[in-house]
Structure 1
Amino acid sequence: MQVHGLSFAIIHSMTKVLPAWHSACKAHNMKPCLIPRNVATQWNSTYDILLFAKEYAKVIDDITGNKSLNLRNYELLDPQWKIVNNLKAALKILKDASTISHVIPMMDAIDDFLSSSLRRQLHNAVKAALKLGQATLNQYYSCTDESNVYCIAMVLHPQFKLNYF
């Protein structure tokens, strides 16, 4: 991916390219920050890079078009920018889906909290409300058993994978 290569080139040329990157960001009234890095264990990092590239497209075009910086091989042509847009849109779905994997662990944490709270000395009205909350939580939790999406999200999540099951 050319944006990934550009990120590497910027980071590793602190005396020439990095100052030029910061200047280009300022010239386009953009916050001078670095391109996110692609992390193999975080499959959503590609989406983050593409999102950043789209936002900083003018800065990227400016810096890769500067012959003196020798970054022409990272230049994105119009058809490649269209690919960035299309891929970004496709990966957005996966980025949103990754948050699904946090639903089940969060439900477990809430269930643990409710169970431990019910064992404490609390007002009867509070205990009744906690029991209703736990019943509602269990109803939603049973819905996750009927959906393959939650299982897939848990297996795809780098932290949980099959260990959760």
Structure 2
Amino acid sequence: MEEVPDLDVTNDEQSATGIDNDEGWVDEIELLTPEELEELEEAILPVKLALAKVSIRFWAYSYANYCFQLCKLAIKLVHSTTILLPVWKSTLKELRQAVTIMPRDVPTRWNSSFNLLEYALNHRKAIDTVTQRRELGLRKFELGDHEWELILKDATLFFSRSTPNLAMVIPAMDHIDKVFTTASLNDRYTLAIRAALEAAKKTLN
């Protein structure tokens, strides 16, 4: 009987041919020449940028959604002095928490977003209790487990991150650019200051 040749391929042979060791699939990228790889990177760059934008927009939408919910709830509690506010205070007492008012996210107040989210996390049980009571009409402000997870993630990671997130950097850069542009054209400042501002603006861009 004619012997069947050994078809087993060693790991070294697999690596040389670009075959994945686990599944036997060919890794086409490993087979590309440096020129072809550079061409591929250029071709997929728009896709990468689009995915980055989608990711940022999804985060921004999620962040805006639950922040809006918490802000509206805070306003409702503060302005309903005869019904909702007393219920909120009594709920905090029942949970043996200090009786406090939920802060609001004010655009002109530094770090107010973080303060709101931090407060919400520390008073999650009270917020859930109040929003789940149908007779109070606050069910539309109820947050699901997934939204609470996002709040926890933002409060512990996003706001404490040493490297600013792109969603925060872009508005800040736009604001700085606007201030520099306005000041560099203002005759109140000396020529030296305006020249320095113009140079700073060019560096920023």
Instruction: Tell me the TM-score range normalised by the shorter chain.
Output: 0.5 to 0.7
Select 1:91's aligned residue among 156, 159, 169. Answer: 159
Gaps of 5+ in 1: 98-151, 156-160
CA distance in 1, matches of 2:160, 2:116: 12
TM-score of the aligned structures, taking structure 2 as reference length: 0.46
- Cα-to-partner distance string for 1:57-93 (whole Å, 9 max, x where unaligned): 0000000011111100110110010011111121234
- Does residue 1:24 correspond to 2:24, yes or no? no
Counterpart of 1:91, as a letter, is F
Cross-structure match for 2:131 = 64
Higher relative contact order (CA 8 A, sep 6+): 1
TM-score of the aligned structures, taking structure 1 as reference length: 0.56
- Tell me if the contact between 1:17 and 1:69 (Cα under 8 Å) persists in the aligned partners: yes
Written as runs of structure 1 = structure 2, the 5 A alignment for 1:98-137 is none
CA distance in 1, matches of 2:160, 2:73: 22
- Cα-to-partner distance string for 1:20-49 (whole Å, 9 max, x where unaligned): 000100011111111111111124100000
- Does residue 1:55 correspond to 2:122, yes or no? yes
- Does residue 1:75 correspond to 2:145, yes or no? no
- Does residue 1:5 correspond to 2:72, yes or no? yes
Identity of aligned residues (%): 30
Counterpart of 1:39, as a letter, is V
- Does residue 1:46 correspond to 2:118, yes or no? no
Matched position secondary structure for 2:160: helix
- Structure number with bigger Rg: 2
Corresponding pairs, count: 105
CA distance in 1, matches of 2:73, 2:160: 22
Give the helix-richer structure, 1 or 2. Answer: 1
- Cα-to-partner distance string for 1:94-126 (whole Å, 9 max, x where unaligned): 7xx9xxxxxxxxxxxxxxxxxxxxxxxxxxxxx
Gaps of 5+ in 2: 1-67, 165-172, 184-196, 198-205
- Does residue 1:36 correspond to 2:119, yes or no? no
RMSD, aligned CA: 2.8
- Tell me if the contact between 1:47 and 1:92 (Cα under 8 Å) persists in the aligned partners: no
Counterpart of 1:23, as a letter, is S
